[in-house]
């Protein structure tokens, strides 16, 4: 009798685990609570599926907060491996000017269709609208619309995702199956931040602060555009600072974002420009110094009016504008989550220390990375690693 493996969750991590196991002589059942597979992966493809990144792998792995944990797997199944894997499914990819890798068609749907077709041809069985409601040793309790049944497997892979965008399936309902000390509480990652604005700022909502430098701790500056929104700020630049902002929160410090609004101009040059002709309006003076309307409005919002005519003070503010923040957008809206099953709770094969029948992979593990293709790359790599672990365990 072939050994039986259950995979809970048909997201990218679970599907990649199924792909590895389908190369061996196992019976593989994938239980997915939604009516179809990989809904978050499809959502990721709506704005262009950024599946990986072409930077050198040693730089790549430093993007993760747990580089030493994920590094060996990412090195094994790196961006080039992902491009080749996509090609094997008939999907060509390209590297954008920023190094980000996308399928040429940008969408996730063609890739997912080809992938599921190949998995089914390789014998993987999919059970949609099947929700795992309990797990004990190697026994699962599964519910569908009509029944509630138990099933026993030689190994079980949990690929249930984290807790954001729960309408797509990752609802975190798996957490009670593990003990509290095995899970680092989830926090929003790659999420917008909150700032309460005065009504004056309404005209700026949806507008970008262009080409600014941003930082929480000065040694880790990031460069790019930041969008002002009705709730605060959003953009990849903000996402990159998420880890530093969470560290501030953990130290019970006031959340504070710092911006250099004109990174190409030195403070001395700026001070000279701001001295200008006294007859000019402040707005004209600031415009001539290189600030656009959005940056000018932000300065008016944040900097005390008594400083506006002081060239030295304003030059300092423009080069280091400190903006107090009120927190993060709700975790439900975050692109990904920090936290999850702790590294100490699993073996190097991603096998739970507390239950040898169970392996974990994907975003439900406690690692964090910015957007840029790093999230999916780690989901694929840990899905493969967990499946290799299962193979060692049951073969
Ligand atoms: C809007 C958006 C855009 C994104 N864009 C990108 C991007 O461009 N690049 C990138 O790298 N990443 C992106 N991501 C992140 C990426 O999609 C996720 O990191 C990835 O999908 C996580 O994969 P996973 O398999 O671990 O979990 P998920 O994709 O969340 O899949 C988990 C699956 O498990 C199922 N499940 C959970 N519990 C149960 C249960 N009890 N019983 C049965 N089934 C269960 C769920 O229904 C779900 O289908 C984006 C995310 C969002 C929300």
Phi and psi angles of residue 20, each rounded to the nearest 5 degrees, phi first:
-65, -50
pLDDT tens-digit profile of 304-337? 999 999 999 999 999 999 999 999 999 999 999 9
pLDDT band at 279 (very low <50, low <70, confident <90, very high): confident
The per-residue pLDDT for 391 is 98
Give the pairing type, strands 139-143 and 222-228: unpaired
Q: To the nearest 10°, the Cα dihedral for 65, 372, 256, 266? A: 120
pLDDT tens-digit profile of 56-90? 999 999 999 999 999 999 999 999 999 999 999 99
Closest C-alpha to ligand 1, atom 46: 169
The per-residue pLDDT for 249 is 87
Residue 264, pLDDT > 90, answer yes
Closest C-alpha to ligand 1, atom 19: 375
Residue 381, pLDDT > 80, answer yes
Q: How far apart are CA 284 and CA 231, in angstroms?
A: 29
Closest C-alpha to ligand 1, atom 22: 363
How many whole angstroms from 112 Cα to the centroid of ligand 1?
Answer: 13
The per-residue pLDDT for 323 is 97
13 lines ligand 1 (CB under 6 A): yes
Q: How far apart are CA 86 and CA 227, in angstroms?
A: 33
Q: How far apart are CA 176 and CA 180, in angstroms?
A: 8
**Cα 169 to Cα 10, 33, 36, 172, distances in angstroms:** 10, 7, 10, 9
pLDDT band at 385 (very low <50, low <70, confident <90, very high): very high
Both tokens assigned to 167 = 């309408």
**pLDDT cut 70: percent of the chain above it:** 100
pLDDT tens-digit profile of 131-155? 999 999 999 999 999 999 999 999 9
Both tokens assigned to 233 = 């700020």
In this prediction, residues 190-207 reach a mean pLDDT of 97
Residue 238, pLDDT > 90, answer yes
The per-residue pLDDT for 217 is 83
The per-residue pLDDT for 102 is 98
The per-residue pLDDT for 29 is 98
Residue 334 CA, closest ligand 1 atom number: 53
Residue 219, pLDDT > 80, answer no
**Cα 384 to Cα 58, 78, 108, 141, 216, distances in angstroms:** 20, 12, 20, 25, 35
Neighbour count for residue 164 (Cβ, 10 Å): 25
Closest CA to 164 of 182, 129, 191, 183: 191
11 lines ligand 1 (CB under 6 A): yes
How many whole angstroms from 329 Cα to the centroid of ligand 1?
Answer: 19
Residue 14 CA, closest ligand 1 atom number: 25
Put simply, whether the predicted model's pTM sits higher than 0.75 gets the answer yes
The per-residue pLDDT for 206 is 97
CB contact set of 370 (below 8 Å; sequence gap of 6+): 63, 190, 236, 239, 240, 242
The per-residue pLDDT for 276 is 73
pLDDT tens-digit profile of 1-45? 899 999 999 999 999 999 999 999 999 999 999 999 999 999 999
Closest C-alpha to ligand 1, atom 47: 169
Q: How far apart are CA 61 and CA 73, in angstroms?
A: 10
How many whole angstroms from 132 Cα to the centroid of ligand 1?
Answer: 16
43 lines ligand 1 (CB under 6 A): yes
The per-residue pLDDT for 6 is 98
The per-residue pLDDT for 139 is 97
Both tokens assigned to 221 = 């500056």
Phi and psi angles of residue 101, each rounded to the nearest 5 degrees, phi first:
-105, 130
Mutate to test the pocket of ligand 1, among 44, 99, 166, 371 (most ligand atoms within 8 A of CB): 44
102 lines ligand 1 (CB under 6 A): no
Residue 52 CA, closest ligand 1 atom number: 11
Is the CB of residue 377 less than 8 Å from the CB of residue 64? no
Weakest-pLDDT range from 114-128, 240-254, 296-310: 240-254
The per-residue pLDDT for 344 is 98
How many whole angstroms from 255 Cα to the centroid of ligand 1?
Answer: 28
Mutate to test the pocket of ligand 1, among 376, 378, 381, 385 (most ligand atoms within 8 A of CB): 376
52 lines ligand 1 (CB under 6 A): no
Q: Where are the alpha helices (DSSP H) in 140-266?
A: 236-240, 242-250
Closest C-alpha to ligand 1, atom 41: 132
386 alpha carbon, distance to own chain's centre: 20
In this prediction, residues 283-293 reach a mean pLDDT of 94
What value does the CA radius of gyration of the chain take, rounded to a whole number of Å?
24
Neighbour count for residue 116 (Cβ, 10 Å): 19
Residue 121, pLDDT > 80, answer yes
372 lines ligand 1 (CB under 6 A): no
What ranges do the domains of the chain cover?
A: 3-187+333-394, 193-328
63 lines ligand 1 (CB under 6 A): no
Residue 179, pLDDT > 90, answer yes
- CATH number, domain 3-187+333-394, options 3.90.1010.20, 3.90.1150.10, 3.65.10.10, 3.50.50.60: 3.50.50.60
Both tokens assigned to 108 = 């996730």
32 lines ligand 1 (CB under 6 A): yes
pLDDT tens-digit profile of 348-378? 999 999 999 999 999 999 999 999 999 999 9
Task: Compute the mean pLDDT over every residue in the chain, rounded to the nearest whole number.
Answer: 96
Closest CA to 257 of 234, 274, 290: 234
Q: How far apart are CA 111 and CA 26, in angstroms?
A: 24
């Amino acid at each position: 009798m072939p050994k039986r493996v259950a995979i809970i969750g048909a997201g990218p991590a679970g599907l990649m685990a199924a792909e590895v196991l389908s190369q061996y002589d196992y019976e593989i059942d994938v239980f997915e609570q939604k009516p179809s597979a990989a809904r978050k992966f499809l959502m990721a493809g709506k704005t262009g599926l950024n599946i990986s990144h072409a930077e050198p792998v040693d730089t790549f792995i430093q993007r993760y907060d747990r580089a030493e944990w994920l590094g060996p797997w990412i090195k094994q199944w790196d961006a080039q491996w992902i491009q080749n894997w996509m090609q094997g499914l008939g999907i060509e990819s390209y590297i954008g000017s920023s190094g980000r890798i996308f399928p040429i068609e940008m969408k996730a749907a063609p890739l997912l269709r080809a992938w599921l077709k190949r998995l089914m041809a390789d014998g993987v069985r999919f059970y949609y609208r099947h929700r795992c409601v309990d797990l004990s040793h190697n026994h699962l309790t599964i519910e569908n619309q009509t029944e509630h049944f138990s099933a026993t497997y030689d190994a079980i892979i949990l690929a249930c995702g984290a807790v954001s965008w729960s309408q797509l399936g990752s609802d975190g309902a798996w957490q009670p199956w593990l003990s509290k000390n095995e899970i680092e509480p989830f926090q929003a990652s790659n999420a917008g931040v909150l700032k309460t604005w005065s009504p004056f700022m309404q005209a700026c909502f949806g507008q970008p602060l262009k080409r600014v430098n941003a930082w929480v701790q000065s040694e880790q500056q990031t460069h790019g555009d930041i969008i002002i929104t009705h709730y605060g700020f959003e953009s990849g630049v903000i996402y990159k600072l998420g880890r530093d902002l969470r560290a501030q929160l953990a130290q019970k410090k006031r959340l504070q974002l710092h911006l250099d609004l004109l990174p190409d101009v030195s403070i001395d040059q700026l001070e000279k420009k701001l001295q200008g002709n006294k007859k000019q309006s402040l707005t004209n003076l600031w415009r001539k110094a290189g600030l656009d309307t959005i940056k000018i409005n932000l300065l008016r919002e944040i900097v005390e009016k008594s400083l506006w005519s002081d060239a030295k003070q304003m030059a300092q503010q423009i080069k280091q504008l400190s903006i107090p923040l009120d927190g993060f957008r709700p975790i439900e809206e975050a692109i990904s989550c920090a936290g999850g099953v702790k590294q100490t709770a699993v073996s190097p094969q991603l096998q739970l220390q507390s239950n040898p029948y169970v392996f974990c992979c994907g975003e439900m593990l406690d690692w964090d990375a910015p957007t840029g293709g790093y999230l999916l790359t780690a989901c694929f790599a840990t899905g493969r690693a967990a499946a290799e672990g299962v193979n060692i365990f049951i073969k």
